[in-house]
């Protein structure tokens, strides 16, 4: 039987070398995206107005919505939260395969980043909804899916804090992470596919013009890089704390 030594993720490995360039790239891309959102992309129209006016060289007959600009960061943070959840699931699977606590740490941190970005999604989404629809909440498919995602991630952390034994806690957490990663896409699809003739939900998708798509893409890339940087920073800090605690224990034992 081949004895393949398991290579564990550790602070200081190759991803850390990418942190500095990633941070700069992420900041630059996000700033470009921000500026693009406000100055380059055409504004989206809202309710129609009586009559039409010539603005620039386009015939405008709808109210111009500035609040839609929130979307250019709302979507990217949402995408990043899904990706973080995906990585959390990957590390959870690796943990279940190898039973090595290091993967459990990685999984937990990915879910932390996911929680952070879910909170960001909810904040931006809340501001957007409040202005657009004049209500604080509506049971709209997108919003409900994010709410479910937030609940599952919170449940993950509550579960972790209510199991004392480390091995058991890691196993349960890994299973829940996998179930969550399977559940969220199903959530997303089901709320879209079920015809809502009873519940007339105004889905403001329309289509995205190429400029809008590019702006969202840039911001999404920027946010993903920032998420990656945050993950490595947190991972470094947690590893340092873990090694310090381990040292303390060996010192206490020797005494």
58 beta partners: 55
Query: Binding to other proteins (CB under 8 A): which residues in 65-94?
Result: 65-67, 69-70, 73-74, 77
Assign 3-class secondary structure to 36-93: HHHHHCCCEEEEEEEEEEEECCEEEEEEEECHHHHHHHHHHHHHHHHHHHHHHHHHHH
The tokens for 252 are 């206490």
d(CA 148, CA 242): 32
Q: Which CB sits closer to other proteins, 134 or 210?
A: 134
Restricting to residues 193-222, which ones interact with other proteins according to CB under 8 A?
193-195, 197-198
Binding flags for other proteins, 126-145, as an x/- string (CB under 8 A)? -xx-xx------------x-
* Candidate list 36, 79, 83, 116; residue touching other proteins; CB under 8 A: 116
Closest distance of CB 46 from other proteins, Å? 7
Stretch that binds other proteins, among 53-61, 82-90, 203-211, 214-222 (CB under 8 A): 53-61
Q: Rank residues 149 and 220 by Cβ distance to other proteins and give the closer one.
A: 149
Query: Got the DSSP string for 141-180?
Result: HHHHHHHHHHHHHHHHHHHHHT--SHHHHHHHHHHHHHHH
Residue 42 binding other proteins, by CB under 8 A: no
The correct pick among 25, 179, 208, 214 for binding other proteins (CB under 8 A) is 179
44 bridge partner residues: 65
Q: By CB under 8 A, which span of 14-22, 64-72, 79-87, 203-211 interacts with other proteins?
A: 64-72
């Amino acid at each position: 039987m081949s004895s393949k030594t398991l290579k564990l993720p550790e602070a200081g490995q190759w991803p850390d070398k990418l942190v500095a360039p990633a941070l700069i790239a992420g900041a630059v891309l996000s700033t470009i995206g921000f500026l693009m959102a406000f100055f380059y992309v055409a504004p989206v129209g809202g309710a129609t107005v009586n009559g039409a006016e010539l603005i620039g060289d386009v015939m405008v007959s709808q109210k111009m919505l500035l609040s839609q600009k929130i979307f250019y960061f709302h979507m990217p943070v949402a995408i990043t939260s899904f990706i973080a959840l995906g990585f959390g699931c990957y590390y959870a699977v690796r943990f279940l395969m190898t039973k090595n606590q290091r993967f459990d740490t990685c999984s937990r941190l990915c879910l932390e980043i996911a929680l952070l970005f879910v909170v960001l999604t909810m904040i931006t989404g809340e501001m957007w909804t409040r202005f657009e629809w004049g209500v604080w909440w509506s049971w709209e498919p997108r919003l409900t899916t994010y709410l479910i995602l937030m609940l599952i991630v919170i449940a993950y952390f509550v579960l972790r804090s209510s199991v004392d034994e480390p091995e058991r806690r890691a196993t349960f957490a890994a299973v829940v992470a996998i179930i969550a990663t399977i559940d969220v896409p199903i959530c997303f699809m089901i709320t879209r596919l079920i015809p809502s003739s009873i519940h007339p939900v105004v889905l403001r998708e329309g289509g995205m013009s190429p400029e809008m798509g590019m702006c969202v893409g840039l911001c999404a890339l920027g946010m993903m890089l920032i998420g990656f940087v945050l993950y490595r920073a947190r991972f470094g800090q947690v590893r340092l704390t873990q090694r310090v605690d381990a040292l303390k224990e060996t010192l206490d034992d020797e005494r």
